[in-house]
Amino acid sequence: MSQPSSRDTELLSVYLDGQLSKADSARLESRLKTDPELRAVYEELRQSQALLRKLPARRAPRNFTLTPKMAGIKPPLPRAFPVFRLASALAAVLFFLGYALNLSASLAASMSVATPLVANAPAAAQMVAAPTEAPQTFAPKVAATQAVLPAQQDNLAPTATPETMTLAVPPNEAMPQRGLEPQPAEPPALPLDPAWLFGLLGLAVVSGASAFLVRVRTDQNWSKANAAGPVRLGARERLLIALVAVIVLLLAAAVYWMSTGFQLL
């Protein structure tokens, strides 16, 4: 007797499952009658199959029904959501365009202010040099004035005008006030009133917040209706909200800074 080949074992297994053709089955059955080894293997296969089928079926330990969240079903978007979102996006785009426009105008204005200063440098240098000559040119005039009007001094003194007061001041102190004293900087004229920028920024924030709130409210209602559990903001969403708030504050500060002509505090 020889051990059945793997081919014979496979044939026996298929025969056991009733999947062998009639002709092959007949051939195998005749061999089984004469070959005890083949019969033993068949018996092993049959018993193995019978034992495996005896395994008790276990009940599922719980229900495996899916919740909408598990199924990846998202709540429908509220109708107002796209409107608010579009309004927020448009306001944000207009805000940045307006800001860029004002910024470029401010830069152009500062460039045009810087250029004349450089071009008039010699004149400025002369004016700076003037105080050194002033005592010589103005002092006699002042002295003459004081000499011509000595008799009037008693009358003038109580009603001294600023002009006369100025004249009384030493020339080297009076001269720098003539055009060289730094004047308080005037904020440059902006093409778009910063109030508009504030308005656009506000609109973007209000629209965005409205879109967010409408979405959250719809999610909550949908979750309640579908028993999908409460809607809670995750750490990522909270961080995003905080980040947006910081960015909005920075933008508002940037607009304010622009409205003051970029004056340092």
Partner 1 sequence: MDEAALILDAQRGDLDAFNRLVLAYQDLLYNTALRILGDEALAADATQDSFISAFRNITAYRGGSFKGWLMRTVTNACYDELRRKKRRPSVPLEPTNDEDEEMESPRWLADPSMSPEQKFEADELEHAIQHCLEALPVDFRTVVVLADIQGLDYTEVASAARVPLGTIKSRLSRARLRVRECLQGFKELLPAAFRLEEENIL
Residues forming the site for partner 1 (CB under 8 A): 6, 9-10, 12-14, 17, 19, 36, 40-41, 43-45, 47-66, 68, 70-73
| Angle in degrees, CA 76, 79, 84, rounded to 5 | 115
The smaller minimum CB distance to partner 1, of residues 51 and 119, is found at 51
Closest Cα to residue 133, out of 179, 181, 175?
175
In angstroms, the CA 157 to CA 164 distance is 9
Contact, 178 vs 127, CB < 8 A? yes
Q: What sign for the dihedral angle of Cα 168, 169, 171, 176?
A: negative
What stretch of H or E contains 244? helix 235-259
In angstroms, the CA 45 to CA 9 distance is 9
| Angle in degrees, CA 177, 179, 182, rounded to 5 | 80
In angstroms, the CA 21 to CA 60 distance is 38
Structure tokens at 11: 């044939």
The smaller minimum CB distance to partner 1, of residues 58 and 232, is found at 58
